[in-house]
């Protein structure tokens, strides 16, 4: 049995933590919204500025979860599995990389390294010194059944917790949902992990 101990949503208009709206954004470009979110975190992490949008949103979502659930620091460095997913892989960066060479230009190495969706997991692992299980999957819809089942499976094996993210940054829209799964209901949110509960909180905003 596993529990959802923290969750947050980020869209192009609001972000919320555990279902409570934490901030709303004035209309702006994606880069402006991402910049506003990063500034509101009040952290200095120079690597953030070279990331693509997918990695930036993944990074910010993880920071929001950590802030809501500081006990995350008590886990060992191999303990936390990171499972992320989205609809369109690294599509936005793929297009930017293609644009870099299409009209006789020189292919951009700094864009190319972000043309793999799991780079966001790498960025989060580097930031937090997490050496646990990794997996990036691609699906048309948020697959609550997969996340609930696979978190349970990993937590019954060698992982103690799982950080999950459904992270879409395409067509000038952000749709992201992050949740942290633990073996005990440490924060007593009373959210036992199953696909129905996960679907319910995913849709709640």
Q: Which residues bind other proteins (CB under 8 A)?
A: 77-78, 82, 87-89, 91, 94-95, 97-98, 101, 106-109, 112-113, 115-119, 121-123, 125-126, 128-140, 143, 146, 149-150, 152-154, 156-158
Q: Which is nearer to other proteins, 45 or 131 (CB)?
A: 131
CB 151 within 8 A of CB 197: no
The CB-of-98 to other proteins minimum distance in angstroms stands at 7
The CB-of-4 to other proteins minimum distance in angstroms stands at 19
Q: Which is nearer to other proteins, 71 or 116 (CB)?
A: 116
Burial of 136-158, coded b for 16+ CB within 10 Å and e otherwise, reads beeeeebbbebbbebbbebbeee
The CB-of-80 to other proteins minimum distance in angstroms stands at 10
Q: In sequence order, what are the beta bridge partners of 23?
A: 15
Cα(93)–Cα(103) distance, integer angstroms: 17
Q: Which is nearer to other proteins, 28 or 107 (CB)?
A: 107
Q: Which is nearer to other proteins, 17 or 169 (CB)?
A: 169
- Run of H or E including 124: helix 119-128
The CB-of-59 to other proteins minimum distance in angstroms stands at 12
Q: For the chain, where are the E strands, in sequence order?
A: 3-11, 14-17, 20-24, 80-86, 134-138, 161-170, 173-182
């Amino acid at each position: 049995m596993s529990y959802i101990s923290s969750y947050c949503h980020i869209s192009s208009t609001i972000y919320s933590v555990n279902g409570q709206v934490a901030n709303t954004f004035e209309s702006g470009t994606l880069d402006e919204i991402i910049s506003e979110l990063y500034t509101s975190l009040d952290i200095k992490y120079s690597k953030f500025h070279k990331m693509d949008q997918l990695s930036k949103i993944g990074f910010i979502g993880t920071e929001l979860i950590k802030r809501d659930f500081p006990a995350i620091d008590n886990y060992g460095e191999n303990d936390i599995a990171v499972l992320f997913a989205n609809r369109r892989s690294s599509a936005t960066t793929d297009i930017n990389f293609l644009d870099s060479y299409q009209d006789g230009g020189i292919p951009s190495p700094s864009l190319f390294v972000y043309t793999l969706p799991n780079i966001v997991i790498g960025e989060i692992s580097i930031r937090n010194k997490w050496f646990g299980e990794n997996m990036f999957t691609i699906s048309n819809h948020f697959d609550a059944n997969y996340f609930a089942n696979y978190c349970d499976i990993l937590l019954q094996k060698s992982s103690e917790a799982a950080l999950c993210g459904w992270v879409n940054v395409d067509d000038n829209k952000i749709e992201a949902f992050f949740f942290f799964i633990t073996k005990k209901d440490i924060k007593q949110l009373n959210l036992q992990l199953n696909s129905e509960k996960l679907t319910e909180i995913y849709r709640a905003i």
